[in-house]
Amino acid sequence: MRARFAAVLPVALLALAGCQCDACATGGDSEADAQAAGFVNATCPVGGEAIAVDGGSVDYNGNKVGFCCPGCEGGWNEMSTADKDQFIADAKAGTR
């Protein structure tokens, strides 16, 4: 339990604090730009901001996940598989 909490804490803190990168400060890109770039999501799974086409991305189980800034990839990597899977499901349902 303690180890799981330690792994989730950094991601939770980033989500609460929001991302502080330049791309986020400018509002990221439009949802249409994100879709045109092939991202499954419109908002960053870590910072909760609109994703930026140049914010970095990862391929997760055949889905291209975008971020609001390159610094958010580390937060994604720290997320549990269950949280990643839920994020993808929500993104495909149009809620992310």
* Contact by Cβ (8 Å): 95, 55: no
Give the dihedral sign, CA 51/34/55/86. Answer: positive
The SS3 assignment for 66 reads strand
75-85 tens-digit pLDDT: 999 999 999 99
Q: For residue 49, which amino acid is it?
A: E
Reported in sequence order, the residue ranges of the chain that DSSP labels E, i.e. its strands, are 57-60, 63-66
- At residue 89, the pLDDT reads 96
What's the pLDDT at 18? 54
The pLDDT score that the predictor gives to residue 13 is 45
Alpha carbon separation from 17 to 3, 30, 53, 59, 62 (Å, rounded): 22, 22, 22, 25, 29
Task: List per-residue pLDDT tens for the chain, 96 residues long.
Answer: 555 544 444 444 444 455 656 545 555 666 777 777 899 999 999 999 999 988 999 999 999 999 999 999 999 999 999 999 999 999 999 877
Cα–Cα distance measured from residue 36 to residue 49, given in angstroms and rounded to the nearest whole number: 18
Ranges of each domain in the chain? 2-92
